[in-house]
Protein backbone atom coordinates (compact mmCIF):
# COMPACT_ATOMS: atom_id res chain seq x y z
CA UNK A 1 0.00 0.00 0.00
CA UNK A 2 1.27 3.47 -0.89
CA UNK A 3 2.25 5.49 2.19
CA UNK A 4 0.03 8.35 3.40
CA UNK A 5 1.35 11.76 2.42
CA UNK A 6 0.83 15.47 2.83
CA UNK A 7 -0.97 16.60 -0.30
CA UNK A 8 -1.26 20.38 0.19
CA UNK A 9 -0.51 23.20 2.63
CA UNK A 10 -2.66 26.33 2.91
CA UNK A 11 -2.83 29.38 5.10
CA UNK A 12 -5.40 32.16 5.30
CA UNK A 13 -3.58 35.44 6.04
CA UNK A 14 -6.87 37.35 6.43
CA UNK A 15 -9.78 35.55 8.05
CA UNK A 16 -12.63 34.97 5.58
CA UNK A 17 -10.59 35.66 2.46
CA UNK A 18 -9.07 33.19 0.00
CA UNK A 19 -6.18 30.87 0.90
CA UNK A 20 -2.53 31.00 -0.03
CA UNK A 21 -0.95 27.71 -1.04
CA UNK A 22 2.55 26.95 0.25
CA UNK A 23 4.94 24.32 -1.06
CA UNK A 24 6.70 24.16 2.31
CA UNK A 25 6.54 25.92 5.66
CA UNK A 26 8.59 26.09 8.86
CA UNK A 27 6.53 25.41 11.98
CA UNK A 28 7.13 26.19 15.65
CA UNK A 29 5.81 24.17 18.56
CA UNK A 30 2.68 25.65 20.08
CA UNK A 31 1.98 27.99 17.17
CA UNK A 32 -0.15 28.13 14.03
CA UNK A 33 1.21 28.26 10.50
CA UNK A 34 3.05 31.59 10.14
CA UNK A 35 0.55 34.33 9.18
CA UNK A 36 -2.45 32.00 9.30
CA UNK A 37 -5.50 34.14 10.22
CA UNK A 38 -3.07 36.86 11.31
CA UNK A 39 -5.60 39.56 10.37
CA UNK A 40 -9.37 39.78 10.53
CA UNK A 41 -11.95 42.33 9.39
CA UNK A 42 -14.16 43.52 12.23
CA UNK A 43 -17.77 43.90 11.19
CA UNK A 44 -18.59 47.29 12.64
CA UNK A 45 -17.81 48.30 16.24
CA UNK A 46 -15.65 45.54 17.66
CA UNK A 47 -14.38 44.22 20.96
CA UNK A 48 -10.93 43.16 19.82
CA UNK A 49 -8.21 44.86 21.86
CA UNK A 50 -4.89 44.88 20.03
CA UNK A 51 -3.08 45.61 23.31
CA UNK A 52 -4.71 42.68 25.12
CA UNK A 53 -5.74 40.24 22.37
CA UNK A 54 -8.05 37.36 23.18
CA UNK A 55 -10.22 34.90 21.31
CA UNK A 56 -13.52 36.26 20.01
CA UNK A 57 -16.30 34.34 18.23
CA UNK A 58 -16.17 34.51 14.46
CA UNK A 59 -19.43 36.45 14.26
CA UNK A 60 -17.39 39.48 15.37
CA UNK A 61 -15.71 39.48 11.95
CA UNK A 62 -16.54 39.22 8.28
CA UNK A 63 -16.57 35.49 7.50
CA UNK A 64 -17.99 33.03 4.99
CA UNK A 65 -20.67 31.56 7.25
CA UNK A 66 -22.66 34.80 6.87
CA UNK A 67 -20.75 36.80 4.26
CA UNK A 68 -20.45 34.49 1.26
CA UNK A 69 -19.73 37.43 -1.06
CA UNK A 70 -16.17 37.31 0.27
CA UNK A 71 -15.64 34.13 -1.77
CA UNK A 72 -15.94 36.09 -5.02
CA UNK A 73 -12.67 37.86 -4.15
CA UNK A 74 -9.17 36.55 -4.85
CA UNK A 75 -6.57 37.70 -2.34
CA UNK A 76 -2.80 37.56 -2.69
CA UNK A 77 -0.52 38.06 0.30
CA UNK A 78 3.11 39.16 -0.07
CA UNK A 79 4.79 38.06 3.14
CA UNK A 80 7.95 40.12 2.67
CA UNK A 81 6.11 43.36 1.89
CA UNK A 82 3.17 42.58 4.22
CA UNK A 83 0.91 43.60 1.34
CA UNK A 84 -2.55 42.28 0.46
CA UNK A 85 -3.81 42.53 -3.12
CA UNK A 86 -7.48 41.85 -3.84
CA UNK A 87 -8.83 40.94 -7.25
CA UNK A 88 -12.31 40.25 -8.57
CA UNK A 89 -12.69 38.32 -11.82
CA UNK A 90 -8.95 38.77 -12.34
CA UNK A 91 -9.00 42.57 -12.01
CA UNK A 92 -7.27 44.31 -9.10
CA UNK A 93 -9.82 46.15 -6.96
CA UNK A 94 -7.79 46.96 -3.84
CA UNK A 95 -4.26 46.84 -2.47
CA UNK A 96 -2.74 47.85 0.83
CA UNK A 97 0.11 47.20 3.21
CA UNK A 98 -1.33 45.41 6.22
CA UNK A 99 1.29 46.64 8.70
CA UNK A 100 0.61 50.34 8.03
CA UNK A 101 -2.38 52.46 9.02
CA UNK A 102 -2.69 53.90 5.49
CA UNK A 103 -2.53 50.47 3.87
CA UNK A 104 -5.24 49.07 6.13
CA UNK A 105 -7.39 52.15 5.55
CA UNK A 106 -7.25 51.64 1.78
CA UNK A 107 -8.42 48.06 2.19
CA UNK A 108 -11.09 49.04 4.72
CA UNK A 109 -12.51 51.57 2.26
CA UNK A 110 -12.86 48.82 -0.32
CA UNK A 111 -14.66 46.48 2.10
CA UNK A 112 -16.90 49.30 3.29
CA UNK A 113 -18.22 49.64 -0.25
CA UNK A 114 -18.07 45.99 -1.36
CA UNK A 115 -19.70 44.55 1.77
CA UNK A 116 -21.98 47.47 2.64
CA UNK A 117 -25.14 45.35 2.74
CA UNK A 118 -23.59 43.04 5.36
CA UNK A 119 -21.93 45.58 7.64
CA UNK A 120 -23.02 46.67 11.12
CA UNK A 121 -20.70 49.68 10.89
CA UNK A 122 -17.34 50.68 9.43
CA UNK A 123 -15.04 47.65 8.91
CA UNK A 124 -11.68 47.60 10.66
CA UNK A 125 -8.71 45.34 9.88
CA UNK A 126 -7.25 44.17 13.19
CA UNK A 127 -4.25 42.12 14.32
CA UNK A 128 -1.89 41.61 17.24
CA UNK A 129 1.56 40.00 17.43
CA UNK A 130 1.27 36.25 17.82
CA UNK A 131 -2.54 36.25 17.69
CA UNK A 132 -4.52 34.07 15.27
CA UNK A 133 -8.19 34.65 14.44
CA UNK A 134 -8.96 30.95 14.21
CA UNK A 135 -12.43 29.56 14.85
CA UNK A 136 -11.03 28.00 18.03
CA UNK A 137 -9.08 29.60 20.86
CA UNK A 138 -6.20 27.10 20.73
CA UNK A 139 -3.17 27.81 18.56
CA UNK A 140 -3.32 24.86 16.21
CA UNK A 141 -3.53 23.59 12.64
CA UNK A 142 -6.59 22.22 10.91
CA UNK A 143 -6.21 18.89 9.09
CA UNK A 144 -8.51 17.36 6.46
CA UNK A 145 -8.31 13.89 4.94
CA UNK A 146 -9.01 13.80 1.18
CA UNK A 147 -10.38 10.25 1.42
CA UNK A 148 -13.03 11.54 3.82
CA UNK A 149 -13.83 14.32 1.32
CA UNK A 150 -14.46 11.56 -1.24
CA UNK A 151 -16.91 9.91 1.19
CA UNK A 152 -18.84 13.17 1.50
CA UNK A 153 -18.87 13.45 -2.30
CA UNK A 154 -20.52 10.04 -2.53
CA UNK A 155 -23.09 10.99 0.09
CA UNK A 156 -23.83 14.33 -1.61
CA UNK A 157 -23.85 12.89 -5.11
CA UNK A 158 -21.59 15.61 -6.48
CA UNK A 159 -18.02 16.90 -6.43
CA UNK A 160 -16.93 18.66 -3.24
CA UNK A 161 -14.05 21.13 -3.42
CA UNK A 162 -11.77 20.34 -0.44
CA UNK A 163 -11.19 24.07 0.00
CA UNK A 164 -14.75 24.34 1.34
CA UNK A 165 -13.26 23.07 4.61
CA UNK A 166 -10.57 25.80 4.80
CA UNK A 167 -7.96 23.45 6.27
CA UNK A 168 -4.25 24.08 6.65
CA UNK A 169 -3.08 20.56 5.82
CA UNK A 170 -4.71 18.13 3.37
CA UNK A 171 -3.68 14.49 3.65
CA UNK A 172 -3.83 11.85 0.92
CA UNK A 173 -3.77 8.03 1.02
CA UNK A 174 -5.18 7.92 4.55
CA UNK A 175 -8.27 5.68 5.05
CA UNK A 176 -11.50 7.63 5.22
CA UNK A 177 -12.43 8.79 8.75
CA UNK A 178 -9.15 7.43 10.18
CA UNK A 179 -8.36 10.94 11.43
CA UNK A 180 -11.08 10.65 14.09
CA UNK A 181 -9.16 7.74 15.62
CA UNK A 182 -6.16 10.06 16.11
CA UNK A 183 -7.83 12.17 18.82
CA UNK A 184 -5.47 12.28 21.81
CA UNK A 185 -2.64 10.76 19.76
CA UNK A 186 0.47 12.07 18.04
CA UNK A 187 1.06 11.91 14.29
CA UNK A 188 4.15 12.86 12.34
CA UNK A 189 4.27 14.73 9.04
CA UNK A 190 7.78 14.92 7.64
CA UNK A 191 9.99 15.92 10.57
CA UNK A 192 7.20 17.55 12.62
CA UNK A 193 5.02 15.93 15.29
CA UNK A 194 1.40 16.99 15.90
CA UNK A 195 -0.93 16.15 18.80
CA UNK A 196 -4.48 15.72 17.51
CA UNK A 197 -6.91 17.04 20.12
CA UNK A 198 -10.40 17.50 18.66
CA UNK A 199 -12.77 16.95 15.78
CA UNK A 200 -13.92 19.97 13.77
CA UNK A 201 -17.62 20.75 13.96
CA UNK A 202 -18.71 22.21 10.64
CA UNK A 203 -20.78 25.35 10.14
CA UNK A 204 -22.62 26.74 7.13
CA UNK A 205 -19.41 28.25 5.72
CA UNK A 206 -18.82 24.84 4.07
CA UNK A 207 -22.01 25.33 2.07
CA UNK A 208 -20.35 28.17 0.12
CA UNK A 209 -18.52 27.40 -3.12
CA UNK A 210 -15.02 28.83 -2.53
CA UNK A 211 -14.69 29.87 -6.17
CA UNK A 212 -18.08 31.39 -6.97
CA UNK A 213 -19.47 32.42 -3.58
CA UNK A 214 -22.68 30.50 -4.32
CA UNK A 215 -24.35 28.93 -1.28
CA UNK A 216 -25.05 25.73 -3.18
CA UNK A 217 -24.60 22.80 -0.78
CA UNK A 218 -25.71 21.61 2.66
CA UNK A 219 -22.55 20.00 4.03
CA UNK A 220 -23.43 19.94 7.78
CA UNK A 221 -26.89 18.55 6.95
CA UNK A 222 -25.34 15.89 4.71
CA UNK A 223 -22.94 14.86 7.47
CA UNK A 224 -25.76 14.71 10.00
CA UNK A 225 -28.05 12.72 7.70
CA UNK A 226 -25.42 10.16 6.64
CA UNK A 227 -23.19 9.88 9.75
CA UNK A 228 -25.33 11.37 12.56
CA UNK A 229 -22.82 14.12 13.35
CA UNK A 230 -21.61 17.34 11.71
CA UNK A 231 -17.86 16.85 12.29
CA UNK A 232 -15.28 16.91 9.53
CA UNK A 233 -11.52 17.26 9.91
CA UNK A 234 -9.45 17.53 13.09
CA UNK A 235 -7.47 20.11 15.02
CA UNK A 236 -3.88 19.43 16.09
CA UNK A 237 -1.20 21.25 18.07
CA UNK A 238 2.31 21.53 16.65
CA UNK A 239 4.53 19.61 19.11
CA UNK A 240 8.00 19.99 17.58
CA UNK A 241 9.76 22.63 15.50
CA UNK A 242 10.55 21.74 11.91
CA UNK A 243 9.66 22.12 8.25
CA UNK A 244 6.96 20.30 6.31
CA UNK A 245 6.56 20.18 2.55
CA UNK A 246 4.23 18.84 -0.13
CA UNK A 247 4.66 15.08 -0.45
CA UNK A 248 5.98 14.50 3.08
CA UNK A 249 5.15 11.13 4.56
CA UNK A 250 2.41 10.98 7.18
CA UNK A 251 2.90 8.51 10.04
CA UNK A 252 -0.05 7.96 12.35
CA UNK A 253 0.05 6.48 15.85
CA UNK A 254 -0.95 2.86 16.08
HEC-encoded secondary structure of 37-88: CCEEEECCCCCCCCCCCCCCCHHHECCCCCCHHHHHCEEEEECCCCEEEEEE
97-129: per-residue pLDDT in tens?
999 999 999 999 999 999 999 999 999 999 999
Residue 178 has pLDDT above 80, yes or no: yes
What is the C-alpha separation between 179 and 234, in angstroms, rounded?
A: 7
Give mean pLDDT, residues 187-204. 97
Residue 188 has pLDDT above 60, yes or no: yes
Q: What average pLDDT does the chain have?
A: 96
The SS3 assignment for 163 reads helix
Find out whether 236 and 195 touch, Cβ atoms under 8 Å: yes
Residue 253 has pLDDT above 80, yes or no: no
The SS3 assignment for 137 reads coil
15-66: per-residue pLDDT in tens?
999 999 999 999 999 999 999 999 999 999 889 999 999 999 999 999 999 9
Q: What is the pTM of this model?
A: 0.96
Find out whether 85 and 103 touch, Cβ atoms under 8 Å: no
Domains of the chain: 5-31+136-251 (2.40.33.20), 40-126 (no CATH)
1 confidence band (pLDDT: 50, 70, 90):
low
128-139: per-residue pLDDT in tens?
999 999 999 999
Half-sphere exposure of 97 (CA within 13 A, CB side): 6
Q: What is the pLDDT of residue 254?
A: 62
**Residue 21 main-chain phi, psi, to 5 deg:** -85, 140
What is the C-alpha separation between 126 and 133, in angstroms, rounded?
A: 10
What is the C-alpha separation between 49 and 51, in angstroms, rounded?
A: 5
Residue 143: beta bridge partners? Answer: 169, 234
Amino acid sequence: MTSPKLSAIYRYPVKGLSPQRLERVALEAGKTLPFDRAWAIENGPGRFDEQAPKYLPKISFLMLMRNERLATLESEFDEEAQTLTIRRAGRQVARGQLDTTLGRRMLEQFFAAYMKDSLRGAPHIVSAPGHSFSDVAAKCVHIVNLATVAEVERAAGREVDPLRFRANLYLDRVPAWAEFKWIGKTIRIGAVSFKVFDRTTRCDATNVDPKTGARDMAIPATLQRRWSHSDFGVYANVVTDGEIADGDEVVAAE
